Amino acid sequence: MKSAAFNHILPWLLPLGLLVIWQSLTSAGILAGRILPSPVAVLLAGIRLTETGELPLHLFESFRRASTGLLIGGSLGLFLGLLNGLSRLADRLFDSSVQMVRNIPHLAMIPLVILWFGIGEEAKLFLITIGVFFPIYINTVHGIRSIDFRLIEMGQSYGLGRFRLFWNVVLPGALPSILVGLRYALGIMWLTLIVAETIACDNGIGYMTMNARDFLQTDVVLLGICLYALLGKAADMVTRLLERWLLRWNPVYNT
Amino acid sequence: MPQVIIHQAIQETLRSPLVQVSRVSKQFGSKRVLREIDFEVAEHELVVVVGRSGCGKSTLLRLLAGLESASEGQIFVDGRALKGPNAVARLMFQSSALLPWKTVLGNVALAAPRTREAPAIAMEALRQVGLADRTKDWPSILSGGQQQRVALARALASQAALLLLDEPLGALDALTRLEMQALVEKIWAKRRFSVVLVTHDVEEAVTLADRVLVMKQGEFVYEQQILLARPRARTSGEFVQLKEEILLRVMGS
């Protein structure tokens, strides 16, 4: 299938083309290696750091941090979203407060967070947790609100109890929206992680990049930036796969 | 013919009322949609309510299903006053209201009684509507007529005593519609449930009904027993005559 293969290659053409241009500019000496090392140099830096064991350690720490924050913040967002989506009372009680807090850029809380938690692990997890909480919360509430009312009525008419109605109608109906929230949350998760790891840290990709800056290792700085791009892309791909599997009933995802 | 009269009399005594609607009114704000309706459905009776859109017939079904409560009057099911969703009734809408995230079988099985036999009951219902080979498909890839057949199978699987059909065939093309009418009639004859079908199609009413009621502005204005043998030929003189008579009542001022 020629066209299928072509379709798979197409999204990678642009990044690959950029790499080629970048490599030829540095090889031709038009760009100084100090300002912008060649892709090959970045790759070599990656290999070097992998051999010393630094890179796997930093990657692992960043991943652990990101996933822990996502798990805590995501669960909280999902829980409160479901609660407010299902109960008018809870919604009246909580929603306007949540909306107020949501409008504070969570990175603006860094000084306060440092005062509260110091510069330890808790501060970073707290920031990521707050960051991912809101997109998941908002999209969960929206997902529940936008369920076709006739389906709920059908469930009631068929005598489904609260639990079965939730499990068979409400949750699957809200799922497309919840997954959109997850994708937003992943974007915010990386952003927060980068900032949190550059404040005060002794491991993680962010630390590695900041440390490299102090030693003028431009290749390692670029390596860190490329890693963020790749990690972000990987997380997005995982969510897409999740969408395809969970929403396989939807013709839109079924292609 | 005396024989017919006796036969009818026996039927009347055999058929105890399943649902009894007693002086029911329904008001939405200042708008009175139903006015002191009196109405009975016997066991295994197929009643068709005909009326133009907005006459209150859908509201009547929603009251019978227990999805709305009456402003005045009461509805009795098996002699007991109805409160909340009607456990013995199943409502079928013009849209099939299938859960898109469940397979055909999953949708039907959800309605079956919660026992170990639920999948078997669902399979049997799907066989009856002729969709036994589509059990694993998602509803989105079925045609409109097939979706309505799944919805019908779901209603069958729930083993309800009363099927409430709110123009379930309204969105189907003419040929599928005829097929569905025949299917509903066949299954109804086999299983002993009662049906209240709401429609604006007089021919459909005469084809299917034991009894036709004409509704206008929230009131029944005409009632007609249809005693033609089933399945009914739409071209017979009696059929056409009944159809004309009812149409006149629906249209007349």
How far is the alpha carbon of A71 from chain B, nearest alpha carbon, in Å? 26
Nearest by CB: B90 against A158, A172, A175: A158
Q: Taking 80 as the threshold, does the pLDDT of residue A29 lie above it?
A: yes
**What is the average pLDDT across A147-153?**
90
Nearest by CB: B101 against A157, A164, A172: A172
Contact of B60 with B164, CB cutoff 8 Å: no
Between A and B, how many CB-CB pairs are < 8 A?
53
At A221, the amino acid letter reads: V
Give every strand in the sheet of B31-42, ordered side by side: B31-42, B17-28, B72-77, B80-81
Whether B90 contacts chain A with CB within 8 A: yes
Confidence class for position A254, pLDDT limits 50, 70, 90: low
Q: Taking 90 as the threshold, does the pLDDT of residue A140 lie above it?
A: yes
Q: What is the pLDDT of residues A99-108, one digit of tens each?
A: 998 888 888 8
Whether B113 contacts chain A with CB within 8 A: no
Contact flag A156-B97 (C-beta cutoff 8 Å): no
Contact flag B102-A151 (C-beta cutoff 8 Å): no
Distance CA A66, CA A68 (A): 6
Whether A249 contacts chain B with CB within 8 A: yes
**C-alpha dihedral (B198, B203, B207, B211), degrees to nearest 10:** 50
Distance CA B163, CA B172 (A): 19
B139 interaction partners in chain A (CB closer than 8 Å): 249
Whether A157 contacts chain B with CB within 8 A: yes
What are phi and psi for residue A148, nearest 5 degrees? -55, 120
Pull the structure tokens for residue A125.
């997890």
How far is the alpha carbon of B131 from chain A, nearest alpha carbon, in Å? 19
Pull the structure tokens for residue B246.
């009812």
Cβ within 8 Å of A, B 202-231: none
Contact of B43 with B20, CB cutoff 8 Å: no
Domain B2-88+160-251, CATH: 3.40.50.300
Contact flag A158-B158 (C-beta cutoff 8 Å): yes
Chain B, nearest residue to A251 by Cα: B140
Whether A250 contacts chain B with CB within 8 A: yes
Contact of B250 with B52, CB cutoff 8 Å: yes
Residues 6+ apart with CB under 8 A from A46: A55, A223
Q: What is the pLDDT of residues B106-155, one digit of tens each?
A: 999 998 888 888 889 999 999 988 899 999 999 999 998 899 999 999 98
A248 interaction partners in chain B (CB closer than 8 Å): 138
The beta strands (E) that lie in chain B are given as 17-28, 31-42, 46-50, 72-77, 80-81, 89-92, 162-166, 194-199, 211-216, 219-225
> Exposed/middle/buried for A90, CB within 10 Å: 0-12, 13-18, 19+?
middle
* B44: alpha, beta or left? (left if phi > 0; alpha if psi -120 to 50): left
Q: Considering only CA atoms, which of A44, A50, A185, A68 is closest in space to residue A122? A: A68
Alpha carbon of residue A36 to chain centroid: 28
Whether A158 contacts chain B with CB within 8 A: yes
> Exposed/middle/buried for B200, CB within 10 Å: 0-12, 13-18, 19+?
middle
Q: What is the pLDDT of residues A158-214, one digit of tens each?
A: 888 889 999 999 999 999 999 999 999 999 999 899 888 887 778 888 889 988 988
Which pLDDT belongs to residue B222? 92
Q: What is the pLDDT of residues B144-203, one digit of tens each?
A: 889 999 999 998 898 889 999 988 787 788 888 888 888 889 999 888 899 999 998 999
B135-149 burial by CB neighbour count: b if 16+ within 10 A, else e?
Answer: bebbbeebeebbbbb
Confidence class for position B1, pLDDT limits 50, 70, 90: very low
DSSP for A71-129, written as a single string = HHHHHHHHHHHHHHHH-HHHHHHHHHHHHHHHTS-GGGGHHHHHHHHTTSHHHHHHHHH
Distance CA B37, CA B234 (A): 31
Q: Considering only CA atoms, which of A70, A56, A213 is closest in space to residue A132? A: A70
Whether B6 contacts chain A with CB within 8 A: no
What pTM did the predictor assign? 0.81
**C-alpha dihedral (A40, A45, A46, A52), degrees to nearest 10:** 150
Pull the structure tokens for residue B29.
């704000």
Distance CA B247, CA B206 (A): 10
Question: In this structure, how many other beta carbons lie within 10 angstroms of the beta carbon of residue B103?
Answer: 18
Contact of B33 with B59, CB cutoff 8 Å: yes
Residues 6+ apart with CB under 8 A from B59: B26, B33, B34, B68
Question: In this structure, how many other beta carbons lie within 10 angstroms of the beta carbon of residue B64?
Answer: 23
Contact of B77 with B31, CB cutoff 8 Å: no
Q: Taking 60 as the threshold, does the pLDDT of residue B33 lie above it?
A: yes
Whether B140 contacts chain A with CB within 8 A: yes
Q: What is the pLDDT of residues B40-75, one digit of tens each?
A: 999 999 999 998 888 888 899 999 988 889 999 999
Q: Considering only CA atoms, which of B148, B141, B200 is closest in space to residue B173? A: B148
Contact flag A169-B95 (C-beta cutoff 8 Å): no
Average pLDDT, chain B: 87
Q: Taking 70 as the threshold, does the pLDDT of residue B15 lie above it?
A: no
Regarding an ipTM greater than 0.90, the answer is no
* B207: alpha, beta or left? (left if phi > 0; alpha if psi -120 to 50): alpha
Which pLDDT belongs to residue B79? 82
The domain locations on chain B are 2-88+160-251, 95-159
Chain B, nearest residue to A252 by Cα: B140
* A229: alpha, beta or left? (left if phi > 0; alpha if psi -120 to 50): alpha
Q: What is the pLDDT of residues A30-86, one digit of tens each?
A: 888 778 888 888 999 999 999 999 999 999 999 999 999 999 999 999 999 999 999
Please state whether the peptide bond connecting residue B231 to the residue before it is cis, i.e. omega within 30 degrees of 0. yes
More confident call, B148 vs A4: B148
Whether A160 contacts chain B with CB within 8 A: yes
Confidence class for position A114, pLDDT limits 50, 70, 90: confident
Chain B, nearest residue to A165 by Cα: B110
Q: Taking 90 as the threshold, does the pLDDT of residue B102 lie above it?
A: yes
Q: Considering only CA atoms, which of A201, A59, A181 is closest in space to residue A131? A: A181
Tokens 């005594």 locate to B13
Average pLDDT, chain A: 89
Q: Taking 80 as the threshold, does the pLDDT of residue B13 lie above it?
A: no
A179 interaction partners in chain B (CB closer than 8 Å): none
- Residue B198, beta-bridge partner list: B49, B166
Which pLDDT belongs to residue B6? 55
Contact flag B141-A251 (C-beta cutoff 8 Å): yes
Structural domains of chain A sorted by starting position, each given as residue range(s) with its CATH number in brackets: 38-253 (1.10.3720.10)
